[in-house]
Amino acid sequence: MKSLGSILFAAGVFVSNIAVADDLEARAAQSRDATQALMKELVGIMEGAVQKGGPLNAIVTCNEQALPLTHKVAEQQGMDIGRTSLKIRNPKNAPDAWETAVMENFAKRKAAGEDAAKLEHYEIVETEGGKEFRYMKAIPLRGVCVVCHGPGIKKDVSDKLYGLYPDDQARGFLPGDIRGAFTIRQKM
């Protein structure tokens, strides 16, 4: 027969696990909102840049405004937000080991038939600094993005890209491919 103490301990662990699961789901929901807010902002500036001056203007706009805009949205949302990819354009967006593993898993899931627009992953991870909530949401390539990220980039666009990003790897994508992912970190 179990003692009252062991039953209460087990009940406490069960309640604690429910609280962690609820907190995890709440953080995931907040992360979804944050990534949607960032996507809306990024798409807005890129569409405006294309309308004002075509792809070359969009490249310059992305180069100058994407990171500051990401930092602004991160501050508004109260979390560390970024973008990364297995094929980076900007070295400042290089993935860490956890992000690389998650994106490789996204690629497998997409190859197995999952919709890239619905791919996400989140968990609590142990770091040297303590526990962190980590979240990633895949970014599928949109049709208009093929101009700068597709397989047949025009010479003037390619030259501009290599001028700003000499080690550019972010090419050869087709609409619906996983271009990269939003990534979020929160200290626990």
pLDDT in tens, 43-74: 999 999 999 999 999 999 999 999 999 999 99
Residue 58 lies in a domain: no
Q: What does the alpha-carbon distance between residue 112 and residue 142 come to, in Å, rounded to a whole number?
A: 20
Range of the domain at 14: 4-38+78-187
Query: Which pair of structure tokens corresponds to residue 110?
Result: 């997409």
pLDDT digits (tens, 9 = 90+) for 18-39: 455 679 999 999 999 999 999 9
Q: Are 85 and 99 in contact (CB under 8 A)?
A: no
Name the pLDDT band for 154 (thresholds 50, 70, 90): very high
Query: How many structural domains are present in the chain?
Result: 1
Separation CA 32–CA 26 (nearest Å): 10
Examine residue 43 and state whether it is found in any structural domain, yes or no: no
Is 108 within the bounds of a domain?
yes
Q: Is residue 114 part of a domain?
A: yes
Q: Within a domain: residue 171?
A: yes
In this prediction the pTM is 0.85
| Interval 172-179 mean pLDDT | 96
User: Distance from CA of residue 31 to its chain's centroid?
Assistant: 10
Whether 154 is covered by a domain: the verdict is yes
- Read off the tokens for 116: 């890239």
Q: What is the mean pLDDT of residues 88-106?
A: 97
Output the average pLDDT for the chain. Answer: 90
What's the confidence (pLDDT) of residue 143? Answer: 82
Query: Residue 6: its pLDDT value, please?
Result: 52
For residues 39 and 44, what is the distance between their CA atoms, to the nearest angstrom? 8
